[in-house]
Amino acid sequence: MATRRITQETFDAAVRENMEEFEMDPDEALREAVEQFESQGVELSCIVKAVPAVSSEDKQEEQTHEVLQALDSLRIGKDSASVTDMTADIKRFTEHCSLGFPQRYLAAQKDAYPVILSCCKKSLEDQEAVLTALSALAALTDGQPDLLDAEGQQFLLDVLKKYRAVSCVTRVAIHTVRHCCLKHEQNRQDLVKGGVLPLMTGALKQHSGCAELVKEASAALRVMTFDDDVRVTFGHAHEHAKSIVLEHNGLKIIIEAAKAHFDNTSVLSELCATLSRLAVRNEFCQDVCDLGGLKIMMTLLADSYESAELVRQVLSAIRALAGNDDVKDMVVNAGGVQLIVIAMNRHISNPAKQACMLMRNLVARMQNYSQPILEMGAEALIAQALKTHQDCGDVGKAALRDLGCQVQLRELWTGKHGSLTN
Interval 288-300: pLDDT, tens: 999 999 999 999 9
> 343 near 315, Cβ under 8 Å?
yes
pLDDT by residue (tens digit) across 106-117?
Answer: 999 999 999 999
- Report whether pLDDT(177) > 80: yes
Q: Can you state the percent helix, strand and coil of the chain, rounding each to 5?
A: 70, 0, 30
Q: Per-residue confidence at 350, pLDDT binned at 50, 70, 90?
A: low
- First-to-last alpha carbon distance for the chain, in angstroms, is 25
pTM score of the predicted model: 0.90
Tell me, what's the pLDDT at 60? Answer: 44
Q: What is the pLDDT of residue 59?
A: 46
Average pLDDT over the chain reads: 91
> Helices 308-321 and 265-278, interaxial angle, to 10°?
20
pLDDT at 220 over 90: yes
Q: What is the pLDDT at residue 418?
A: 58
Comparing 106-115, 122-131, 235-244, 302-311, the range with the smallest average pLDDT is: 302-311
- In this prediction, residue 419 has a pLDDT band, given cuts at 50, 70 and 90, of low
pLDDT of residue 417: 63
**The pLDDT value given to residue 84:** 83
- Alpha carbon 191 to its chain's center: 18
Whole-number pLDDT of residue 1: 43
Instruction: Quote the pLDDT of residue 410.
Output: 62
Task: Using DSSP bridges, classify how beta strands 63-64 and 4-5 pair: parallel, antiparallel or unpaired.
Answer: unpaired
Q: pLDDT for 130-172, tens place per residue?
A: 999 999 999 999 999 999 999 999 999 999 999 999 999 999 9
Helix (H) or strand (E) holding 53: strand 53-54
Contact status, residue 48 vs residue 55, Cβ threshold 8 Å:
no
Residue pair 362/323 in contact by the 8 Å Cβ criterion: no
Is residue 421 scored above 70 in pLDDT? no
393 pLDDT higher than 70: yes
pLDDT band at 390 (very low <50, low <70, confident <90, very high): confident
| C-alpha span between 277 and 224 (Å, rounded) | 10
Read out DSSP for 260-304?
A: HTTT-HHHHHHHHHHHHHH--SHHHHHHHHHTTHHHHHHHHHHH-
Distance CA 191, CA 395 (A): 36
pLDDT given at position 349 = 59
Alpha-carbon distance of 53 to 42, in angstroms, equals: 24
Domain ranges of the chain: 1-50
